[in-house]
Amino acid sequence: MPQEFASGLVIQGFTPPLALANFRLIAFDMDSTLINIECVDEIADAAGRKAEVSAITEAAMRGEIADYKESLRQRVALLAGVPVAALEQVFSQRLQLNPGAEALVRACQAAGLKTLLVSGGFTFFTDRVRDRLGLDFTRSNVLEVADGQLTGRMVDQPWGDICDGDEKRRMLLATCADLGIEPSRAIAMGDGANDLPMMAVAGLSVAYHAKPRVREQAMVAINEGGLDRLLELLA
């Protein structure tokens, strides 16, 4: 049964502390986990369609939409005609790292962990977050652009079409294989239903201010405070 380790910090299935140095990889979701916004919703605001897109995002994150890929295609289609300059504004004016993000990343890096950002969002943002935090690996989706505007479509990549929950899981496992480690030595952090597949194969799964279904299945649920509260459980 889950138990509250400290205020707003719930654990199940293990007894803390764990040794951070026993892990070799930490994988993060981006939107509403490492950062404070859902980027697709904020881009939609520029098209006057934030409410419509946000409703789909919320349903997808709660796990109420079985086909995540189709839900993302629907949302991206509503972005057709948005200028790339609007993405720049979202990044510079609305996107912030969530509290404790940098402290947790730095602690993990200092302990020798590699860092992976896996997102159902877009490379426009993940590449910038990667560079800001010095992350090692990323996987996310590419928005198609023509004449300085979004077309409402995404671009297929060598690994596939859309980074959904299954792709997050595959990327975590592939990164573990490349590093020569077992998935049990990986930490996975997320907030939405599409994070559950990668959380299920990691040695430590962490829900951050997450949807109920994710909180219920994670080994750690951070319900109050910043991402760095994970360090309270890791010696």
**Does residue 138 sit in helix, strand or coil?**
strand
Distance of CA 63 to the CA centre of its chain: 15
Q: Which class for 225: exposed (0-12), middle (13-18), buried (19 or more C-beta within 10 A)?
A: middle
Q: Report the candidate in 4, 62, 65 with the shortest Cα–Cα distance to residue 38.
A: 62
| Residue for token pair 């040794």 | 19
Buried b or exposed e, range 93-125, using 16+ CB within 10 angstroms? eebebbebbbbbbebbbeeebbbbbbbbbbbbb
- For the annotated catalytic residues, the residue numbers are 29, 31
- Which helix (H) or strand (E) is 50 found in, with range? helix 50-61
